[in-house]
A and B are shown apart, each in its own frame.
Chain A
Amino acid sequence: MRKNKIVIPLLAVLLGFISGAVVMLLTGHNPIEAYAALFKGAGFGGGIKRFGDTLLSMTTLILTGLSIAFAFRTGLFNIGITGQMLMGGFAAVFLGVKLSLPQYIHVPVVIVGAVAAGSIWAIVPGILKARFRIHEVVTGIMMNYVAMWSVYYFVPTFIRGAYDTESKAIGATASLRVEWLSKIFKGSNVNLGLFLAIAAIILVWWILEKTTFGYELKSVGFNINASKYAGMKVNRNMILSMMISGALAGLAGVTFYNGYANNIKIGVLPAQGFDGIAVALLGLNNPFGVGMSAFLFGLMNAGRLFMQSSTEVPNELVPIIIAIIIFFAATSLMLQTWLQKIEKLFKRNEGEK
C-alpha cells in the first residue's frame, strides 16, 4: 500500500502526458516534437534563462500548492486561495506603487502586506466554518469573486496605470527581483521569492510534523469531536489553519505580482490558485512532495509559449494535461484497482513458473 502511494501520482502524470499526446494526434499535431519543444522551452537542453523561468513559475506554484496542502492536512479545502492570492498581490502592488523606501525595507513591507491581506481574506471562510459550520468551499468561491470585483474597482480608482485595466508599475525597490539572480540566470525574472518558497516548504513541514500546534491543527481536521474531547480549541484552530493557508496564498501573490510581473491586471483570477490544487494533490499534501510537483508544473508553464511558437501546438495543451492529471489523481481508486489487477496478473505468471 505504501508503495502504491508514490506510484499513483507518477501514474497520473504519465496518463496526463499520454492523454495530451492523444489530443495532439487527434488535432493533427506531432506529440513528440511538441513535448521536446515543451522541455526545451523550460530550459532542458540549454538556455539558463529558460531554466530560470521554470524556477520562476515553480516559485508561485510551490506557495499555492503549500497553501492548499496545509489546508487539506487540517481538514479544510481552501478553494478561496485564488482570491486570497489576488488580494495579497493587490496589497503588495498597492504598497509597491504608493510607498518609496529603500529596497531592504520596501521588500519586507510588501511581503508583510501581502501575507496580511491573504490571511485576512481567509478569515471570512474560517469564521463562517468555525462559528456556523458553513462549508468553506462555498464561502471560498464567493470570496474569490468578491476579491476579483474589489480589485476591478480598486485598481483604476487608486493605482491606475496607462489603461483602466491595469495598475501602475511598482517601484523598482518594491520588486523581489535582484540583480545578482537575474545575472546568474541571464535576464530571467527569477527572484527572491524562490528562497521564500523554499523556506516556506521547510516551515510548513516543521509546523505540521514537529510542533504540538501542528498536531492539534491536524487532529481537528481528522476528527472534530475527538479533538474537542481532548480539550483542544476546535474553532480557534480552524480559523488559524485557514489564516495560515491564506498567508501562504498571499505570499504566492507577492511572488507573482511583484516578481513574475510588476503590476496587476483587473478582471482575472490568477490561474495559479487552481493549479495549486493540482500541485497539492500530486504532491500527496506533503511539503516536499509539493516542491517536486511544483517543479513539474513550473516547467510545463515555462515551456508552453515556446512550444506554441515553435510547433504551433496551442499552449492550452498544458492546462489540459494539468486537468487530466488532477482527474486521474482524484480518481485514485480507479488507478489502485488497475494496479491490483496488474499485480495479480504478475503473481499468476510467477505461480505458473
Chain B
Amino acid sequence: MWEIVTNIIPLAMAYTAPLLIIALGGLYSERSGVINIGLEGLMGIGAFTSAILIKNSPPTVMNIFIGIAAGALAGGIFSLLHAFASVTMRADQVISGTAINILSAALTVYLARSINGSANIQILSGFIRRDIPVLSKIPIIGPLFFSQVYITTILVLAILLFSWFVLYKRPFGLRLRACGENPQAADSLGINVQRTRYIGVFISGILGGLGGAIVITTYAGEFSQNIYNGLGFLALAALIFGKWNPWGILGASVFFGFAKTVADMSKLFESLRNLPNIYFNSFPYVVTLIALVLFSKNAAGPRAAGEPYDPGKR
C-alpha cells in the first residue's frame, strides 16, 4: 500500500497543478460576477500556443518558460472575447462560454493542421522533475511531496498564495468580490464594474492558458485534440466544490487530482485492478452534485454571478 501511495502522489501532484490553476482562474472570473464555462477552451488555447512555440524554438529552459508565458498570454487575450460578449454586450454568459469552447477546440486544431501539417504537435523538451533541496530530505513528507516535483507546481502554489493575498487582503480583491456580490452597490461606491469584470475575466484567461501550457510542458508533452478531455470542466467542479475560495479550491483540486490519478493508474496496481474505474472517474462530479445540495441552504457562490450588469436596473 505504501508503495502505491508513494507512486501515486507525485503523479497526482503533477495532475493537480494545472487543475488548481485553471480553477483559480475560474475563481477570479466568477468572483467578479462572470460565469466562465469557457475554461476548457482557454486551457486549450494556452496548450496550443505553448506547444507550437516550444516546438519551433531551440530546446532551452528559457524557451520553455517563454512558451508557457506565451500560452498564458494567449489565454488572456482569447478570454477578452468572452468578456466583450458577457460584459459589454450583456450576452448570456453560458452561451458565450460555450462559443469559446467550440471555437477554441476547432481553431487550435485548424491552426495545428495549417501550420504544422498535423493535428498533433509534439514537443521534445519539457520540464524535468527535481527533488527540492533540504525539504525532500524530511522523512515521510519529503519523499511524498518534495521529491520529483515539477517547478511549475511550485509556481502554481505561489500563485495560489498570491491570489489569496490579493483577493482577501487588498482593496482590489474587495472591489472584485463586490462586483460579484452586488454590482449596483459597488457602482454606487465608485467602482467601475465593467472594468473590474474585464480584469476578472482576463486573469481567468491568463490562468486558464497557463494551466494548458503546464499540461503540455509536464505530463502531456504533446498537443492534440485529446487535450480537450474535460480538464476545464473538472476545474469548474473543483471551484464549486471548493466553495469559491482559494483554500477550498486547493483541497478540492488535490482531492479530484488524486481520484483521477487513481482511476488512470488502477490497472497498474494489483490491489486496485478490480475496482471499476467508474467510481474514481465520476467521483469528482458526483461529490460536487452532493456538495451543491448541501450548500444550497446558504448559497456559497457569488450572488450576482451570471447576471449581466445593467446600471439602469435597480
Q: A305-352: which have CB < 8 Å to B?
A: 314, 316-320, 322-324, 326-327, 330-334
Instruction: State the CA gap A330–B86 with chains docked (Å).
Output: 9
B236 at interface (Cβ–Cβ under 8 A)? yes
A227 at interface (Cβ–Cβ under 8 A)? no
Q: B46-91: which have CB < 8 Å to A?
A: 81, 84-85, 89-91
| Contact A134 to B296, CB < 8 A, known contacts A145-B233, A327-B81 | yes
A224 at interface (Cβ–Cβ under 8 A)? no
Instruction: State the CA gap A34–B293 with chains docked (Å).
Output: 50
Q: Are A274 and B98 in contact (CB under 8 A)?
A: yes
A30 at interface (Cβ–Cβ under 8 A)? no
Query: For the complex, would chain A's binding face be called helix, strand, loop or mixed by DSSP majority?
Result: helix
- Number of contact residues on A: which range applies? 35 or more
A98 at interface (Cβ–Cβ under 8 A)? no
Instruction: State the CA gap A149–B234 with chains docked (Å).
Output: 13
Task: Indicate which residue in A79, A153, A278, A314 contacts B94 across the interface (CB closer than 8 Å).
Answer: A79
B276: which A residues are within 8 A, CB to CB?
153, 157
Q: Are B289 and A142 in contact (CB under 8 A)?
A: yes
B111 at interface (Cβ–Cβ under 8 A)? yes
A102: which B residues are within 8 A, CB to CB?
none
A277 at interface (Cβ–Cβ under 8 A)? yes
B136: which A residues are within 8 A, CB to CB?
none
Binary per-residue interface labels of chain A (272-308) against chain B in the complex, 1 for a CB within 8 Å, 0 otherwise: 0011011001000000000000000000000000000
Task: Indicate which residue in A138, A145, A320, A327 contacts B85 across the interface (CB closer than 8 Å).
Answer: A327
Instruction: State the CA gap A278–B282 with chains docked (Å).
Output: 28
Shortest CB distance B257–A (Å): 15
A203 at interface (Cβ–Cβ under 8 A)? no
A148 at interface (Cβ–Cβ under 8 A)? yes
A181 at interface (Cβ–Cβ under 8 A)? no
Q: Are A128 and B289 in contact (CB under 8 A)?
A: yes
B113: which A residues are within 8 A, CB to CB?
314, 316
Q: Are A314 and B102 in contact (CB under 8 A)?
A: no
Task: Indicate which residue in A27, A79, A316, A327 contacts B109 across the interface (CB closer than 8 Å).
Answer: A316
Q: Are A142 and B103 in contact (CB under 8 A)?
A: no
A46 at interface (Cβ–Cβ under 8 A)? no
Which A residue's beta carbon lies closest to that of B234?
Answer: A145
A135 at interface (Cβ–Cβ under 8 A)? yes
| Contact A327 to B103, CB < 8 A, known contacts A146-B282, A333-B89 | yes
Q: Are A149 and B106 in contact (CB under 8 A)?
A: no
Binary per-residue interface labels of chain B (207-240) against chain A in the complex, 1 for a CB within 8 Å, 0 otherwise: 0000000000000000000000110011011001
Known: A323-B100, A330-B96. 20 other contacts (CB 8 A): A23-B110, A27-B115, A79-B98, A132-B292, A134-B293, A137-B35, A139-B292, A141-B37, A142-B237, A143-B289, A144-B233, A148-B230, A154-B278, A277-B98, A281-B95, A319-B105, A319-B106, A322-B102, A323-B107, A334-B89
